[in-house]
Structure 1
């Protein structure tokens, strides 16, 4: 099925073909009438018709080259120039007045200007106009003023129409390409968002599941009841993770800040890190609370996976969240893809995000949501 630009291109080309065919019919009728009136001989008329037909056919072919932005059709232009000269010069030499098929030269000009810059177009057009005016004035009885006025009317008409037709096609094509580029960008951004969200969803849950599974394995021979309890919690977390992934796929998931804070406290304390929370977020919008919930989740995941923290504090006030822990292994600790994705999420939403080691040996995660 043809795309809209391809359909528009076909319409414009058929429109131009019809226009050229109409001009060719008018020129041919004029040449035939001159031959019928014996103003020119039949061989000259046939020669002029052949040259005119060649120019018009080459014009249509060159126009298609220009639509597709192909290399300069130098051979076609050169042959077209010779045919245009033959169509204009030979019949005119047998007349005493100015005809109309000298406009064939301007049809060739229209095909040439498609590949020329503006200054070259003006120079070529002025040179052709001057040459034709001088030639027609010299071989006919028409005054040069009359010849010049006629040429000034004809010279810009077909080149301007041709340029407008090509400009319309390129504008339609560029607009379509722009729409396609925007669509591809939207798809790429959505894929990135989904990948980031999936990492945020599973990174935290799998870290806790791994921790509890290890704990259950250690307790299996010492405290079977505790091991069974931990495995029951693993099953619950796995089920919740599956539900969250399903919601993420549907695009309808939303995190609750209070629930995330409670879950993070339980996970960190189960890992042996004392967690203190001071959260004042009742005045924040639902969107801002959701953003901070993602920060809390990813921050806790980062602590569980990349540190040996014994204490962690979470403070929320005035739309600013600070999460500190004392388990920094190196200055680059915590600089994984999860935090990079979280930073991208915050910046996209109009907030800010930093995660860095402090001079006191702690790791500080700071996030600010838009008011």
Structure 2
């Protein structure tokens, strides 16, 4: 819905009634034939002009069109029956047309009215200069009003579109943020659960080893807190090297044999963060869902593969983590592929 302040209000059209001053002056000062009917017609003209504009801005289009038709009839009655100096009323008539008629129809109507004005003025013996000025004023008045109102309408639509896009961007960012937290906390909590199980197993027979595992849980928890804070401020990932180190530890402690084949290389920060997220998400799925005994992580050029011999994510589908990872890959111009043949394979390709 358009706001009142997004286009000129009807009050902007009423000062143009000053164009009716010459006819009013003639009625008071000059000899005008049939002064009574002329006065009534001029009063009707003013009322119909005001009514056409007011109804148009109140979105009562049918009533406004009927009022405009009556205004056109009264205008030509005035111009055919009274003084030649009253032709400025034609400009008021076309201004009302520009306010009432919408779309391409306004050009057809203005062309017809302009042609009728030329014919009428030529028949009354008006000079070429008067005809040119009147036609110019009438045609320009209607066109300018129509174009300005259309322009303000388009501006209002663009503003609404921009606001809608802003709302969509906020919603998308909230979704991205929630998936980031899911990825981050899912991985961290998986590691903490594995270490807690190790503490439970070691506590009866090796208190010192259990204490070390408990200390690791504290370290992981503190690191998770730091990472959550970093995520809130726009953090995207710790990078491939850090995630590989964490993956080795987490997989080993979960009793899963891990093979890492990742050459040392420098890459763009965005790509490094994406591959880090891929390792985090892939290893989290291996630990939590796969039941795997072995996992291989391999980087070949622009392709990262995480392959295990387990059953994959299971019946839950890709889940929020893989969906979020796929969105990040697409945003960077890459792809995410998964395969459940011969274990579970996660492949991320970056440009």
TM-score by length of 1: 0.81
More divergent stretch after superposition (311-320 vs 251-260): 251-260
Structure 2 partner of 1:262? 245
2:340 is the counterpart of 1:369: no
| Equivalent residues of 2:290, 2:314 under 8 A apart | no
Q: Shift of residue 49 of structure 1?
A: 3.3
How many angstroms does 1:334 deviate by?
6.2
Q: Does 1:354 align with 2:332?
A: no
Partner of 1:282: 265
> CA–CA distance in 2 between the matches of 1:253 and 1:146?
72
**In structure 2, how many angstroms separate the alpha carbons of the residues matched to 1:311 and 1:133?**
92
Q: Are 2:140 and 1:157 aligned?
A: yes
Which sections of structure 1, spanning at least 5 residues, go unmatched? none
- Work out the number of aligned pairs and report it: 349
Note the 1:91-110 alignment, pairs <5 A. Answer: 92-94=80-82, 97=84, 99-103=86-90, 104-110=92-98
Deviations 1:239-291 (A, max 9, x none): 11111001111124641322221211111111111111121032433432222
1:136-175 superposed Cα distances (whole Å, 9 cap, x missing partner): 677xx42798997566434422210111211231233234
Offset, 1:348: 0.8
Distance 1:354 1:291, change over 3 A: same
Q: 1:322–1:146: structure 2 CA closer, same or farther, 3 Å change rule?
A: closer
Separation in structure 1 between the aligned mates of residue 267 and residue 114 of structure 2, nearest angstrom: 74
Match among 155, 179, 187 for residue 172 of structure 1: 155
Structure 1 position 176, deviation (Å) = 2.5
CA separation in 1, counterparts of 2:72 and 2:317?
75
Say if 1:90 and 1:348 are closer, same or farther in 2 by CA, change over 3 A: closer
CA contact (8 A) 1:215 1:227 kept: yes
**Which residue, 199, 202, 205 being the options, matches 2:182?**
199
TM-score (norm 2): 0.85
Give the deviation of 1:100 after TM superposition: 1.5
Which digits, 9 at most, give the CA deviation of each residue in 1:308-356, with x for residues without a partner?
Answer: 1101111123132111101116876762221111111111112222121
- Structure 2 residue corresponding to 1:89, chosen from 77, 87, 96: 77
1:46 aligns with 2:39: yes
